[in-house]
Every structure is written in C-alpha cells, then in structure tokens.
Amino acid sequence: MAAENGNKPRVLSGIQPSGNLTIGNYLGALKQWVAVQHDYDCFYCVVDLHAITVAQDPAELRRKTRESAAIYLAAGIDPEISTVFVQSHIPAHSELAWMLTCMAPLGWLNRMTQFKDKSAKQSQESIGAGLLNYPSLMAADILLYHADLVPVGDDQNQHLEFTRDLAQRFNHLYGETFTLPSVMNPQAGARVMGLDNPTAKMSKSEASENHAVFLLDDLARARKKVMRAVTDSHREIRFSDDRERAGVNNLLTIYQAITGETQEAIESGFANKGYGDLKRAVADCVVGTLEPLQARYNELMNEAGYLDSVLKIGREKAADIANDTLKLAQARMGFLASS
C-alpha cells in the first residue's frame, strides 16, 4: 500500500499535549516538520490519546491540546499544505490501536525504554496499562496513514522499530496491508538534554524549574534558564561524548541545531572564549527562535475561530484516509462488514 495523495511520500508525526512544549520538542520534531512540509504529504497531529497514558487534568488537557496545535502553526506549519488535526477526533486511531494491541507480544512491549523509564517513576500497582500499550497506539497513528517517514527525536526510534515489526507481522498474517515507515531524526538536536541535568533527556513533564526552556516561556526567563545551565569545570568549548562534559555538549548541540553551522565552524568560533560567552550565544539563538514563534502564537490565539476551523478541515481530511485503512485492516482480520 503506497501513500495516496499525489506522488509525494507521506509523513506523519505528533506531540503529546502533556505539558508545555519544550525546545527539545521543537528541535527534535517541529523544526523538521516545518522543513519537510513542501516535499512530503504531511500529517501532524496533537496526540491527546497518548497524553492520557499518564494522569491529566481534563481542563488542562483541553487547553494544552489547543495550545499545542497553535504552536505547530506558529512554528511554521502551513495548514494550506499540511494536515493538522487532533488524534482523538479520529476514532480510527483507537480502533486500530486495539487490533494492534491484540497482536503485540508482551515481550516486545516490556522491552520499550520509555515504558521502563516512565513506569519506574510510579509504584508497580498503579502503572496504567495504557503506558505499556503506548507503542501500539503510536503504530496505529502511523499505519493508518501509510506514512513513509516519521520525523521524531531519537527517543522515539525504538517505537518506530516496534511499528515496523508489528506492521510486518500483520502483513505476514493477513496479507499486505500496511506501509513500513522509516524514521527521520534531525542531524543535530535529536536528543536535547535537560539544562539542569544534561545526562537526562529534556522533557516537558519534568518538574524542576531550570530543566527545560518552554516555547512559550517569557523571553527573559528563557534566557535565564540557559544562563543557569549546568556545565563543568573544564574550559575548552568543543563537542564531546564524555558524560562529564555533557552540559557543554548540550549547549553546543542546541546552538548547532538552531544555527545549522558545522561542528568545526562552531568550535573555531568559540576558540578562546569562555562558558559565559557560549551561554550568551545559545541564549540569543533560543530567544531569537522563541520571539517570532510567540508573536505568531499570540496572533493565532486572538483570531477567533481560526484554529478550530484548521482542526476541523484537518479532521475531515485525516478521517477519509484513516477510515479507509481501518476498514481494510478490519476486513483482513476477519471482521464482518456492517451493512
């Protein structure tokens, strides 16, 4: 099964409205989404069904869902070109997810790093089954649209492998149905680390104050967070895999992901400079990214009805494709067609 619209290969990706979107989400995902939208038939969803794999406040979830969609547009996603929608508006995601859940071996699910990390933060008794089944829902998201490519940060690569394995299993058992997707990671910024703890991935749901720069942070606050980033007691400014130098490496990576300069050019630009200079330069880049995004975000939120109309059009376009794929998968699996 090939992607449908025109001759362009198809892209699908999403972000959970599980908190405030971070520069990690931007550099790992959103920036790539914007960059590829003219070359691919792109579907970008706000994955609210994923967000509820950990407890969410209902009013907050609704607010963050709209906010996330507005951030997609403010970051440069053009709804005239890309399809933007909310995952729960298309029931086919939940329906296919159930079918895939029934085919997903527990052994595969138990091996998922994200499940191990997130479940380790809860008591064994209270871990929701949705957290374990998260990858089957993600597989449904991707397979419903016959996506060829999935632009994500590298923390999602294991889920992509899982999706391919599950699609292959389905195709083998029931006949060729799903396209096998490939992962697309950015060259720089595939894993932005926490500013307060550069050995842990920056996450929107991490509570500590200086962990992440949020895309809607007040600009002075964003600057302050970068200026307070953890570094080390060395002096040299260069890229390094050394765990001890992870803080400086992270700042350089953020700088590289935003400026697009080569590592060599960046290192020579910072030769004979100090960590204060590096932090100031990174803070300038980050603020330079946030400022226009926030201005556009505020405009969008003040345009009554605009965001909802984008999401409605997106829902209609996405539903057409998703419902066709779901019907095909149901028929292949042996469900009686409704008359």
Instruction: Give the torsion through C-alpha atoms of 6, 307, 216, 76, to 10 deg.
Output: 30
* Residue 201 DSSP code: B
Catalytic, out of 31, 64, 201, 225: 201
Catalytic, out of 8, 64, 116, 118: 118
Nearer to ligand AQP, 65 or 177 (CB): 65
Distance of closest approach, residue 199 Cβ to ligand AQP, in angstroms: 12
Among candidate residues 19, 90, 63, 70, the one with its CA nearest the CA of residue 319: 90
Is 118 one of the annotated active-site residues of the chain? yes
Catalytic, out of 31, 64, 204, 225: 204
Distance of closest approach, residue 104 Cβ to ligand AQP, in angstroms: 19
Binding site for ligand AQP (CB under 6 A): 15-16, 18-19, 22, 24-25, 27-29, 152-153, 155-156, 189-192, 201-205
Q: Which long-range contacts (CB under 8 A, 24 or more apart) does 237-245 make?
A: 237/267, 237/270, 237/271, 237/273, 237/275, 237/278, 238/267, 239/263, 239/266, 239/267, 243/199
Distance of closest approach, residue 194 Cβ to ligand AQP, in angstroms: 8
Distance CA 237, CA 271 (A): 7
Distance of closest approach, residue 332 Cβ to ligand AQP, in angstroms: 28
Distance CA 310, CA 51 (A): 21
CB-closest chain residue to ligand AQP: 28
Nearer to ligand AQP, 134 or 297 (CB): 134
Distance CA 229, CA 212 (A): 10
Nearer to ligand AQP, 177 or 203 (CB): 203
DSSP for 16-34 reads: --SS--BHHHIIIIIHHHH
Nearer to ligand AQP, 50 or 146 (CB): 50
Is 201 one of the annotated active-site residues of the chain? yes
Residue positions annotated with a catalytic role: 118, 201, 204
